Structure 1
Amino acid sequence: MDKQKILTKLNGLNKNTLMETLEIEFVNVGDNFLTAKMPVTSKVHQPFGLLHGGATAALAETVGSCASGFLFADTKTQIVKGLELSMNHIKSKKEGTIFATAKPIHKGKTTHLWEIRIVDEEDNLISIGKLTNIVLEKK
């Protein structure tokens, strides 16, 4: 696995997407994980000045879906779609950066289940998510 090549490819897909709007950047990849970061600014705040749970969920689904698509699926013949995302928000955040790391719980032929841990710069747990993806043949 060429780590830098994968990160460059993933970050190149962000143009003109929600990932670009939220400033999500893929920063690390390994055989069984993918990590992305997102700045916590007013752009991702809810009305009370805290990180919006929906922005956190978007980060989680992004990293989990891309992990399925680029670590365990054949992107030439298969497409990955999210089936279910559940999030638990543990701690609030006003500013800084959060990091989401997706690790597989289950890697089947047609479904992948991911745990996504979202931490801040000091490794404080902010949120934890579980994402189920389906892997389909491209039409």
Structure 2
Amino acid sequence: MTESTPKLSADLVAQLNEHGVPAEAHKFFPKGLGELIPRMGIIFSELTAERAVASMPVQGNTQPVGLLHGGASAVLAETLGSLAAGIHGGVDSIAVGVDLNATHVRPAISGHVTGICTAVKLGRTVCVHTIEIMDESDRTICTARITNMIIPRP
């Protein structure tokens, strides 16, 4: 596999830095973060193939009754697992989710939640990660598992 390092614009680097993406991971974002990560307020604090950590505010990501939306937890879980798998695959590949399972065990009503993603299997074509999402009191609010396929970057 030949890994090419794309040249990133100053604006793109600023966006990645604003969202906590470590400089060594910038090369995996040649087209930026997309629209959903900034919209959800996701901020990374660690991003490797083996482990990824990010936080997200509850406010702005709630369902009509004011609780963190289960879909928001799923977005955080899939974001962490897919990016970790993509890093494992290298810059000439992308990770595409083929299965996501999320179990919501406790509501979050305020503050921030933090997702911790841990690799279970880092294979040549398939990666599996588990994600635990916790509230500010370190109580688990959601556990998730994602399976990603590693495919060539289009």
Alignment partners' CA distance in 2, 1:6 and 1:35 = 15
Match of 1:131 in 2: 146
Alignment partners' CA distance in 1, 2:108 and 2:25 = 26
Q: 1:74 aligns with which of 87, 90, 93?
A: 90
Q: Deviations over 1:105-132 (max 9, x none)?
A: 1111100011001011221101000000
Change (3 A) 1:6 1:100: farther
Match of 1:111 in 2: 126
Long gaps (5+) in structure 1: none
Q: 1:98 aligns with which of 96, 100, 113?
A: 113
Q: 1:13 aligns with which of 32, 55, 60?
A: 32
**How far is 1:31 from its partner?**
6.3
Q: Deviations over 1:32-53 (max 9, x none)?
A: 2010110110x21111110100
Change (3 A) 1:19 1:91: same
Q: Deviations over 1:54-94 (max 9, x none)?
A: 01100100011011112x1111x211101010000011011
Contact 2:49 2:84 (8 Å CA) reproduced: no
Give % identity.
31
Alignment partners' CA distance in 2, 1:114 and 1:56 = 15
Alignment partners' CA distance in 2, 1:65 and 1:128 = 15
**Structure 1 segment 53-64 matched on structure 2, within 5 A:** 53-64=70-81
Change (3 A) 1:110 1:8: closer
**How far is 1:9 from its partner?**
6.3
**What secondary structure, in the 3-state scheme, does the structure 1 residue paired with 2:137 have?**
coil
Which is higher, the Rg of structure 1 or of structure 2?
Answer: 2
